[in-house]
Structure 1
Amino acid sequence: MLDEKSRLTGIIVICLSFALLMTICLPGAVQAAEGPVYQVDLEGTITAGQNNYLQRQVEKALASDARLLVLVINTPGGLVDATLEINRLFMNAPIPIAVIVAPSGAIAGSAGAFILISADLAAMAPGTTVGAAQPVTISPEGTESADDKTVTFYANHLRSIAEEKGRPPEVAEKFVTENLTLSAGEALDIGLIDYIVADVPELLAAVDDLVVEKQNERYILQTKDVPVYSDEMNLRERLQNWIGDPQISFLVLILGLLGIYFGLGAPGTIVPEVTGAILLILGIYGIGLFDTSTTGIILLLLGVGLIIAEIFTAGFGIMGIGGAASIIAGAILMPVEPLMAREWYTTFMLTVVGTVIGLLIILIFVIQRVIHSRKQWKESSSYFTPPKKGIAVTDLNPEGMIKSQGELWKARSENKFLIKTGMEVEVVRAETLMLYVRPMVDQENHPGDLNE
């Protein structure tokens, strides 16, 4: 009897131990999220702007308890830094992420292949292509394949991502080493992707009730008939995306250098130098030599410097307008810090825009006054109005100085007679800045009062 009880106790202990072990080893189960599905569309070159846009959408999806984030891509490739940032984001985000290459005819070339392989769920529309991920470098002769060291590094990196996501590592490696390309059907046959679907609604229907394991967690997807939210790029992301395009950034960089060159060749023109400086900074940022925060700070400092220069020099408003544009660009590119409330950035941008508008109004007023003053000069017969009379403050023998209404004028005796200091004179005529004078009637022998 005792032996049977001991045996029963032992069996119970073993079962409990096994259950505890399974609980520890197996991924934990989580309840299905009750929020919407977030859809993000990326088309064209992968840039820092698209990376920031995607990160913001992931944060919004997490804040709204989204069930799934779906990325729709159609890209020929992109910048390495932005692509690797997206890979890290997908690998570590605590939310299931699906990537679909769509619509039909779309491609996931180069950087697109990296993004597709790093997704939790990968899909392609019929008639799409993925692959050709061999890195290239830009030289004066054009583009050429990167060196063997670089190719080997990225091949192993993509292989590692594929192994983590349960996709064929040798295929991922050939994307980089051999520029391998695959159609949607070929990718599905070898297990590189999970689905061939035409669009996002068809993908959501295919993954309904699917269990996704990620970072030792289990996510139950319930995606049937759920709302799909999407959002557009904000102004900051649009500017980063535009200037981050390699073709655009190269043109902006060249225009900046040309502006500075022509400005130095024709000193005093101001416009080429100011425009060239701003474009040069943006071009350097676009090709990746400056990060976003550094570029924003440099543009803000340049803008403040130009406005100060406008105050103390005759820039005719050009430096002021350039400074305003530089400040706005710098404010847009200022990075969003995680410890600052987003409302603060809205207030900051409104303050910057309001300040710039105020400065532009002042500059427009100053420019109008300058133009009006110059117009009056051109319409008048001379550049100054000579006085009618004055007091000799030096002997005019025959030239000297007279004083009229608190101003000193160069004067010359009309008849070349001596006019002594203190005598009151009348102005006969003016030639350039020289006044021709003669003594007032009955003043030849009676000096005038110098304080008149």
Structure 2
Amino acid sequence: MVHFFVVAGRLSIVLGVFLLLHAAGAAAEPNGRADDTPRVLVTRLDTAITPVVADHVASGLDRAESEKFDAYVIELDTPGGLVTSMRDIVEDVLASRVPVIVYVTPGGARAGSAGAIITFAAHVAVMAPGTAIGAATPVGIDGSDVSDKIVNDAAAQAEALAQLRGRNVRFAVDTVREGRSAAVDEAVRLGAVDAKASSLEDALTAADGRTVTISPDDRVVVRSADATVERHDLGLFRKILQTLADPNIAFLLLTIGTLGLLYELASPGVGVAGATGGTALLLALFSLSVLPVSVVGLLLLAVAIALFVAELFAPGVAGFAFGGAVVLVLSAVFLFDDGQGVSVDLALVLPTAIVVAAATVLAGRLAARTRKLPSVSTGADVFTGQSVTVREADGTTGSTFAEGAWWALRSVGPPLQAGGTARVVAVEDLVLLVDPLSPAEPPEHSSSDQGRDTS
């Protein structure tokens, strides 16, 4: 009995210690963490807004929510980008259960075009000294004005976001309709953004304590001062994809791929040109898959390629190559949809088209010369011009052993002499037409297979 009470006493002590530790942990972990230090997840976007960037932001917001970060911070420096990708990011920010802080940084950075709309959508918007925001007017692929329908739609979105976040509605609308921009001090004075901060730490301090609306029925206080910062930047794979998601890169890959295939058609052989061209075209297809491509532009590109191919088979005054270059320029102009803020730089298109046309002319000349060259591996050209030894002779007919096989001979001149030599002048079916050589006329060369007769 005494032993029982001793054991029970020890168990009660252990249980008591466990409960005390649990209570202490619960007191120090009100938000499910070992301490109460805020944690923020930070990403840097210093590139154009593309589907790759939109996917990266979506994954970052998912991580911030699942790992219970106190805020998701976007360090922004962008000239703009695709409207569709911008809308995807805005939708994700509006649906986020974690406060989103956009910090336009470093000095000299800008939240331009699509970047301005994303900044308007953030729960807290902060700008570094020397930065600017605005110029959100949609433009066509050649920098021209777009339809009023597109502008009205973008202006309505900017107005709705400014109203939702309690910011300057007039400025937000003017950035779209008038292309208005503002430096950081003016943007803060107008209420277009919430604060100015010289560093990320200062930006987190400026955002701390602000009450933001996560959903219509959910308002939270931002906790970001002295926060532990974890990075969520673009990985290597996404950086590669982002590099490819550039209209100029896409156009260059298309032209390189086309040239590679043209030279492979002009002079088939090792396959280096074909492999290079095929790889470039595959990469170009990825670029086109994440960019707003126009069907008209693709059709014009197909016509340009067809004209370049025609130059290979009908080289002359380079008419097909010139026409292909003109159509190639047109395809670059019409390759992307209007209103998306994406275009190919004409400073790149014009010299590229000239180079492609010149290279195609050279490829056409190469193809024409290649077609005229005798074969060195197969067909009748293997024998034409060779000298063979006559093994058997019967007047103007006979036989020889050449290139690993027995061949029938027929003289186009004097009768054949066994043991003599004759030059092959043509091949008719399976008969070698030969011209016997006089004893005083030595043969130019003999078949590499002579002397291999084992009979």
Task: State the TM-score bracket (shorter-chain normalisation).
Answer: 0.5 to 0.7
Residues 235 and 172 of structure 1: is their aligned pair in 2 closer, same or farther, counting only changes over 3 Å?
A: same
Instruction: Give CA-to-partner distance per residue, 1:74-98, whole Å, 9 cap, x none.
Output: 1121111211111111111221110
Over the matched positions of the two proteins, sequence identity in percent amounts to 26
Aligned pairs (5 A) from 1:348-367: none
Q: Which residue of 1 aligns with 2:243?
A: 242
- Structure 2 counterparts to residues 279-428 of structure 1, below 5 A: 280-282=284-286, 284-285=288-289, 287-289=291-293, 396-402=394-400, 407-411=405-409
**Unmatched runs of 5 consecutive residues or more in structure 1:** 1-29, 291-381, 420-424, 438-449
1:130 aligns to what SS in structure 2? strand
1:147/1:48 CA distance change after superposition, 3 Å: same
2:192 aligned residue? 192
Cα 1:220–1:385 shift into 2, 3 Å: farther
SS at 2:202's partner residue?
Answer: helix
Structure 1 427/434 Cα, relative in aligned 2: closer, same or farther at 3 Å? Answer: farther
1-structure distance, mates of 2:279, 2:223? 54
* CA pair 267-413 structure 1, distance change in 2 beyond 3 A: closer
Structure 2 residue runs of 5 or longer lacking an equivalent are: 1-29, 295-382, 426-431, 437-452
Deviations along 1:116-167, one digit per CA (max 9) or x if unpaired, are 00101111112211111000002xxx41121211111111122122222222
Aligned to 1:217: 218
Alignment correspondent of 1:149: 149
Deviation at 1:69, TM superposition (A): 0.8
TM-score by length of 2: 0.57
Render the CA deviation track for 1:42-94: whole Å, top value 9, x for unaligned: 11322222222222222332332211110011112111121111111111122
- Which residue is equivalent to 1:6? none
2:102 paired with 1:110: no
Report the Cα offset of residue 407 of structure 1.
Answer: 2.1
Q: Which residue of 2 aligns with 1:81?
A: 84
How far apart, in 2, do the equivalents of 1:249 and 1:406 lie? Answer: 52
Number of aligned residues:
312
Matched-pair contact (CA < 8 Å) for 2:158–2:172: yes
In structure 2, the residue matched to 1:274 is 278
| Greater relative CO (CA pairs within 8 A, separation 6+) | 2
| Whole-angstrom distance in 2 between the partners of 1:383 and 1:227 | 82
Contact conserved, 1:245 with 1:286, CA < 8 A, in 2? no
Q: Deviations over 1:330-389 (max 9, x none)?
A: xxxxxxxxxxxxxxxxxxxxxxxxxxxxxxxxxxxxxxxxxxxxxxxxxxxx99999989
- Please tell me whether the aligned partners of residues 252 and 282 of structure 1 are also in contact (alpha carbons under 8 angstroms): no
Of residues 222-231 and 128-137 in structure 1, the stretch that sits farther from structure 2 once superposed is: 222-231
Structure 1 residues 209 and 284, CA gap change in structure 2 (3 angstroms):
closer
| SS of aligned partner of 2:43 | strand
Q: Residues 247 and 287 of structure 2 are in contact (CA less than 8 Å); yes or no, is this contact kept in structure 1?
A: no
Could you say if the C-alpha distance between residues 283 and 258 of structure 1 is closer, same or farther in structure 2, counting changes exceeding 3 Å?
farther
Q: Distance in 1 between matches of 2:248 and 2:231?
A: 28
Candidates 123, 129, 136, aligned match of 1:133: 136
